[in-house]
Homo-oligomer: A and B are copies of this chain.
Amino acid sequence: MTFASVSAVTVMLLVVGAFLMLILNINHFADELEADVEIRVFVDREAEASDQDDLGDDISSLTAVEAVDYIPREEGLDTFIDGMGDEAEYFENLREENPLNDVFVVQASEPQQTEQVAEEIDRMDMVDNTEYGQQVFEQLFAATDFVRVVGLILILGLLFTAVFLIANTIKLTIIARKKEIQIMKLVGATNAFIRWPFFIEGLLLGVLGSLLPIVLLTYGYQRFYDAVSGAAQLEFFTFLPPESLLWQTALLLVSVGAVVGVWGSLMSVRKFLKT
Residues of A within 8 A of B (CB): 1, 4, 7-8, 11-12, 14-15, 18-19, 22, 84, 86-87, 89-91, 93-94, 97, 99-101, 128-129, 136, 138-140, 142-143, 146, 150, 154, 157-158, 161, 164-165, 168-169, 171-173, 175-176, 231, 233-237
The interface residues of chain B lying within 8 Å CB-to-CB of A146 are 234, 237
From B94, B99, B236, A143 is in contact (CB under 8 Å) with B236
Complex Cα distance, B173 from A86, in Å, reads 75
The interface residues of chain B lying within 8 Å CB-to-CB of A87 are 99-101
Assess the A164–B11 pair: CB atoms within 8 A: yes
Query: Which 10 A/B pairs are nearest by Cβ-Cβ distance?
Result: A90-B99, A139-B236, A172-B172, A142-B233, A87-B99, A11-B161, A4-B168, A176-B176, A8-B168, A15-B161
Assess the A236–B140 pair: CB atoms within 8 A: yes
The interface residues of chain B lying within 8 Å CB-to-CB of A143 are 234, 236-237
The interface residues of chain B lying within 8 Å CB-to-CB of A172 are 1, 4, 169, 172-173, 176
Complex Cα distance, B5 from A169, in Å, reads 9
Return A214 CB to nearest CB of chain B, in Å.
17
Return A85 CB to nearest CB of chain B, in Å.
8
Assess the A233–B168 pair: CB atoms within 8 A: no
The interface residues of chain B lying within 8 Å CB-to-CB of A231 are 142
Assess the B90–A136 pair: CB atoms within 8 A: no
Assess the B157–A18 pair: CB atoms within 8 A: yes
Residue among A18, A138, A168 having the largest count of chain B Cβ atoms under 10 Å:
A168
The interface residues of chain B lying within 8 Å CB-to-CB of A84 are 99
Return A126 CB to nearest CB of chain B, in Å.
15
Given contacts A11-B164, A87-B100, 13 further A-B contacts (CB under 8 A): A1-B175, A4-B172, A8-B164, A11-B161, A11-B165, A15-B158, A19-B154, A86-B129, A89-B99, A90-B97, A139-B234, A142-B231, A143-B236
Return A198 CB to nearest CB of chain B, in Å.
16
The interface residues of chain B lying within 8 Å CB-to-CB of A129 are 86
User: Can you list 11 contacts pairing A with B, beta carbon distance less than 8 Å?
Assistant: A4-B172, A7-B164, A12-B165, A18-B154, A22-B150, A87-B101, A89-B99, A139-B237, A142-B233, A169-B169, A172-B172
Return A30 CB to nearest CB of chain B, in Å.
13
The interface residues of chain B lying within 8 Å CB-to-CB of A136 are 236
Closest to A129 in B: B86
The interface residues of chain B lying within 8 Å CB-to-CB of A14 are 161
